[in-house]
Amino acid sequence: MKNLKLTLAAAIAAVGLYACSTVPLTGRSQLSLVGDDQVNPAAAASYRQLLSDPKTKVIASGTDAQRVKRIGNQLATAIEQYLQQNGYAGKYQFAWEFNLIQSPEVNAWCMPGGKVAVYSGILPVTQTDAGLATVMGHEIGHAIARHSAERMSQQLALQAGGAAVGVASNGQSSAAQNIISSLYGVGGQLALLKYSRAQESEADRLGLTFMAMAGYDPHQAVYFWQRMAAQNKGGTPPEFLSTHPSDATRIANIQSLIPEAMKYYKGGR
């Protein structure tokens, strides 16, 4: 077992030397075994399928729908400008879409390629435009950092080392997606959960900066996450078993990141 672990670790390390990319703004190196040309089309197809599903109620008009699109486009414009000015031109392929979905779920997400969905159940928590920019900036942060592709890459490497890279390089995206959705042993699950928390914190950092670039005061993010914390009436699991940082940890971390984000804030909305 020990030799197997050492061999697997060596294989992953060797692959990582030749398949790394850098996250904008944070500068973190990440494992990158699958590219946008594999992930984005699958994400776009899933997004279209969701929106066309009769069970999905897309709110296409009205004040709230307009707010989602307006704030989303402001964030996208600011992000595209940042990427252009900092050497990332041509390295990202975004076809932005922003939709409001009627649902009591307190949630929002951004698929790879810039496909964003905001659930109406989160609007009472966001309250303000800055609160909504906090949520959308955070979710877009996951896409900018290519977290979905990174998690796919890690699980490909963990499952089969070099053989899994062959699966990814051959464009067999369905196989890669199956790997992501498969279950692992307890030890592996804990490792992935810990990694997910790291992704959440990175998305917080990116989201704060993006909202500042779009003209929203990053200080407002603290108030949003405090309101989110108040939603957790049923309690939360221990932090080491959670895919997200604890409320207290997240808020403290965001407060520490505000000075960095304020460097990009020119005032405004």
pLDDT tens-digit readout, 55-69: 999 999 999 999 999
Under the banding of pLDDT at 50, 70 and 90, the label for residue 21 is confident
For 40, residues 6+ apart whose C-beta sits below 8 A from its C-beta are 93, 95, 112, 113
Could you give the dihedral angle defined by the CA atoms of residues 10, 190, 179 and 181, in that order, rounded to the nearest 10 degrees?
Answer: -170
The answer as to whether 16 is a domain residue is: no
DSSP lists the bridge partners of residue 58 as: 101
In a domain, 157, yes or no: yes
Give per-residue pLDDT as tens, 166-220.
Answer: 444 444 445 444 433 332 233 445 555 565 888 889 999 999 999 999 999 999 9
Q: Find all residues with CB under 8 Å of 8, minimum gap 6, and list them.
A: 158, 161
Q: Which two tokens stand for residue 177?
A: 């997606």
Confidence of residue 31 (pLDDT cuts 50, 70, 90): confident
**Is residue 1 assigned to a domain?**
no
**CA distance readout (Å), 165 to 162, 176, 227:** 5, 10, 42
Provide the number of structural domains found in the chain.
1
Which domain does 89 fall in, by range?
Answer: 22-262
Q: Which two tokens stand for residue 140?
A: 């877009």
- 139 annotated active-site: yes
Mean pLDDT value of segment 147-167: 62
Confidence of residue 9 (pLDDT cuts 50, 70, 90): very low
Q: Which phi-psi region, left, alpha or beta, contains residue 267 (left: φ > 0; alpha: ψ -120 to 50)?
A: left
DSSP 43-87: HHHHHHHHHHSTT--EE-SSHHHHHHHHHHHHHHHHHHHHHHHTT
Give residues with Cβ within 8 angstroms of 194, minimum separation 6.
240
Q: Could you tell me if residue 17 is inside a domain?
A: no
- The residue length of the chain stands at 269
Residue 87's region, left for phi above 0, alpha for psi from -120 to 50, else beta, is left
User: Tell me, what amino acid is at 35?
Assistant: G
| pTM score of the predicted model | 0.81
Rg over CA atoms, the chain: 19
Do the Cβ atoms of 78 and 144 come closer than 8 Å?
no
Q: What is the pLDDT of residue 6?
A: 42
Kindly report the average pLDDT of the chain as a whole number. Answer: 79
- Which one is predicted more confidently, 99 or 13? 99
- Residue 269 maps to a domain: no
pLDDT on residue 28: 83
Does 5 map to a domain?
no
pLDDT band for position 148 (50/70/90)? confident
**Residues of the chain above pLDDT 90, percent:** 42
In a domain, 6, yes or no: no
Q: Are 42 and 34 in contact (CB under 8 A)?
A: no
Distance (Å, whole) CA 2 – CA 176 = 27
Counting residues of the chain whose pLDDT is more than 70, the rounded percentage is 73
Catalytic residue among 139, 150, 200, 202: 139
pLDDT tens digits along 222-269: 999 999 988 876 666 666 556 777 888 899 999 999 999 999 998 766
pLDDT reported for residue 213: 96
Instruction: Please give the backbone phi and psi of residue 111, each rounded to the nearest 5 degrees, phi first.
Output: -75, 160
- 3 falls within a domain: no
pLDDT score of 3 more than 80: no
- Give Cα 235 to chain centroid, integer Å: 24
